[in-house]
Structure 1
């Protein structure tokens, strides 16, 4: 088969942008199957939301209850080590403003918003391919498990690195956006340790990205500085109610970890049956490494399936989990048609 360019998509479409996908593939069937984000396709069932959550400003007791639930769920030693924000993206933008401009090393390739946030705040940012290449950076950023390849840095390694950063007045920022499906890799139990800053995302594992909620776990002084930078009422009343219930539901969390792992294994088998090799990922997303990725992306787009491609690795595609057999079959059929053409 001759190599195909990515002409079917004129730009890198970021996760969830179905309007852009429809513009690039106007003949694609509806409804689209959106696999461009690593969001659980089976969201947490919404609890009853108190009516006054919509009508009143969020209260301190509700915010405290959320921090307690988050600390317990993530294994943090105290709610005093936890601050909630309107999405982990907000924290990615706030953190760089809490230090004077310096040097930042981001372990890549990874989520681009980290480097962008630090650079925008005046820091000198470099992307490194190994922890040994970080040199003497004031701040080091590690996404663990990594997006998009699922790379995991062992907690022991991270904690030793945090100690070295603390000794020189630096930070190690560990983004654990996908750690709910790999709790063994989390360093949240060490929240409050000098030099260690942990970010958690609520919406991905719980399938409720629209809630816009994220957490920072760190030393109490950093927690207070983050809270001051965000200002009052950073999290909406309905979000406080939903997330407190979800984070406290241990049975749902355990069952969902199993469900996602089973679904990822089943999806891998379907992709393999269509001639597509899975090279990595987590149980919330799968990574394809294929020299024909551009053509495969276009074939999927024409079939009404949106996946994530990357400007820095043209051979990579990231796929979230399909929500049902019909979506799985649409992906498998498109992949099979392309590979067997």
Structure 2
């Protein structure tokens, strides 16, 4: 596969409007106290405690049998029909343009506002991309993309509505891509991971967000066996690095940790909501890994927190919106409280 002839200059431009860059934060707020408290991502602040890496994880190429074991664990964890429906990759980000290239170029509609990389990836694959705010506007697309739960506002589309949309798209040869990056802390019954053999459904699942190991770069595409085989061929052998394979095998099989972590994150989310409520700020949405805030002075709040050494996520074109990740411990919660109390107007 070679998608280079389809690349548009603007689509191929690197997008830098993301959370998680402390280098950019330090350049913007050079006098901010250190260390930074980075709340600009939706990554679990309590990473999975995988065992020490064996030397073989970095000295040898990954074994095919271990990759098969990983996809088996992922199928059970996410609820896919079988390991044959699962493709492991070095992060879902890399999968986006590959998934979009499964279809000949045509109209691509993305339910927004949402994660900007979906639009860029579809444009890279040659599609005519449109971000729409109405769910019904997705009908008739060659490629329809829904982030569920949505990033950044936590909007949730029901499984029944998504299946109805998939059936509508299927009649015209269209495909539905559902990015379930945050479904590990969402209502599991709304996942489409078990509906893949409908033929035109593809689900993306992120490993690093819920397990707090984003730097390992591990993600999964869940789809029909036919499309899974094509994606596997494009990725080739050894797509997953040894350290990610080692951690993924342990984390996906550790059901006790997963259950306890979901409860912990739900509790900490309520604690963060209460903290903002104390300061007169209302949470407008989100998930158990991040909260979404709308406020007329959101830009001022972003700047004040940044000068206090606390990085949150703002959005170009939406100056009244912020996304805030979970503080990881009591000290972090207190830093947020102190910063909010010291802003102009205090709790107003």
- Give the structure-1-normalised TM-score: 0.94
In the alignment, the residues of structure 2 paired with residue 192 and residue 204 of structure 1 have an alpha-carbon distance, to the nearest angstrom, of: 26
Say whether 1:96 aligns with 2:100.
yes
Partner residue in 2 for 1:232: 237
Partner residue in 2 for 1:267: 272
Partner residue in 1 for 2:8: none
Structure 2 counterparts to residues 76-91 of structure 1, below 5 A: 76-91=80-95
CA contact (8 A) 1:178 1:204 kept: yes
In the alignment, the residues of structure 2 paired with residue 332 and residue 187 of structure 1 have an alpha-carbon distance, to the nearest angstrom, of: 38
Q: Which has the higher contact order (CA 8 A, sep 6+)?
A: 1
Partner residue in 1 for 2:6: none
Structure 2 counterparts to residues 146-161 of structure 1, below 5 A: 146-161=150-165
CA contact (8 A) 1:103 1:124 kept: yes
CA contact (8 A) 1:38 1:285 kept: yes
**Aligned with residue 285 of structure 1, among 273, 276, 290:** 290
In the alignment, the residues of structure 2 paired with residue 191 and residue 245 of structure 1 have an alpha-carbon distance, to the nearest angstrom, of: 25
Say whether 1:305 aligns with 2:324.
no
Partner residue in 2 for 1:61: 65
Structure 2 counterparts to residues 1-341 of structure 1, below 5 A: 14-182=18-186, 183-340=188-345
CA contact (8 A) 2:139 2:169 kept: no
Shift of 1:332: 1.7
In the alignment, the residues of structure 2 paired with residue 219 and residue 130 of structure 1 have an alpha-carbon distance, to the nearest angstrom, of: 27
Deviation per residue, 1:218-268 (Å, 9 max, x gap): 011111111111122110122111101100111111111000000000011
* Aligned-partner SS, 1:189: coil
CA contact (8 A) 1:12 1:310 kept: no
Q: Is there any run of 5+ residues in structure 1 with no aligned partner, and where?
A: 1-10
Partner residue in 2 for 1:5: none
In the alignment, the residues of structure 1 paired with residue 41 and residue 240 of structure 2 have an alpha-carbon distance, to the nearest angstrom, of: 23
Give aligned pairs, total: 331
CA contact (8 A) 2:203 2:221 kept: yes
CA contact (8 A) 2:107 2:127 kept: yes
> Higher mean Cα deviation, 103-112 or 271-280?
271-280
- Give the structure-2-normalised TM-score: 0.92
Shift in CA distance, 41/113, structure 1 to aligned 2, threshold 3 Å:
same
Dislocated runs of 4+, deviation >4 Å:
none
Shift of 1:13: 5.1
Shift in CA distance, 268/17, structure 1 to aligned 2, threshold 3 Å:
same
In the alignment, the residues of structure 1 paired with residue 127 and residue 257 of structure 2 have an alpha-carbon distance, to the nearest angstrom, of: 41
In the alignment, the residues of structure 2 paired with residue 47 and residue 193 of structure 1 have an alpha-carbon distance, to the nearest angstrom, of: 38
* Aligned-partner SS, 2:194: helix
In the alignment, the residues of structure 2 paired with residue 304 and residue 114 of structure 1 have an alpha-carbon distance, to the nearest angstrom, of: 30
Shift of 1:48: 3.6
In the alignment, the residues of structure 1 paired with residue 30 and residue 17 of structure 2 have an alpha-carbon distance, to the nearest angstrom, of: 15
Deviation per residue, 1:164-189 (Å, 9 max, x gap): 22222110000000000012321112
CA contact (8 A) 1:275 1:335 kept: no
Shift of 1:120: 1.9
CA contact (8 A) 2:139 2:165 kept: no
Q: Is there any run of 5+ residues in structure 2 with no aligned partner, and where?
A: 1-14
